[in-house]
Amino acid sequence: MPISVLVVDDSAMARKMLIKSLPPDWDIEIRQACNGEEAIAAYRQGRADVIFLDLNMPGIDGYGVLETLQAEDLNCFVIVVSADVQPQARERVMKLGAIAFVQKPVDAAKLEPVLREYGVVV
């Protein structure tokens, strides 16, 4: 069965860049969300084994999504993808249960080691 991948970013451009950077031979079903609310809804419907999550979004931001998911047992891998390069941003999301913090601009070389480390891609 394909893995459900959820790409969350308010920028359509950023979502495109991320999807383009995913391993080409990865058996996945991709869904997109353009804000935190949509992301949480998709997670609750069980449509997110792996979430690529932007931090700075209008409405519920990436931190808010992580807090909600953590309160609901966080039954998925969350990889934060952000333009925020402050070390504190990384610390905050790792505390909230993200498995990795990838700096924008994202590319395949940045994503692959993370996906391999967690065995989501073999």
**Positions that interact with other proteins (CB under 8 A):** 10-14, 16-17, 20, 56-58, 82-86, 88-89, 103-105
In the bound complex, what is the minimum distance in angstroms from residue 18's beta carbon to other proteins? Answer: 10
- Nearer to other proteins (CB atom), residue 39 or residue 57: 57
- Nearer to other proteins (CB atom), residue 109 or residue 122: 109
Residue with tokens 């402050």: 86
Whether 50 contacts 5, CB under 8 Å = yes
- Nearer to other proteins (CB atom), residue 60 or residue 74: 60
In the bound complex, what is the minimum distance in angstroms from residue 60's beta carbon to other proteins? Answer: 14
In the bound complex, what is the minimum distance in angstroms from residue 122's beta carbon to other proteins? Answer: 26
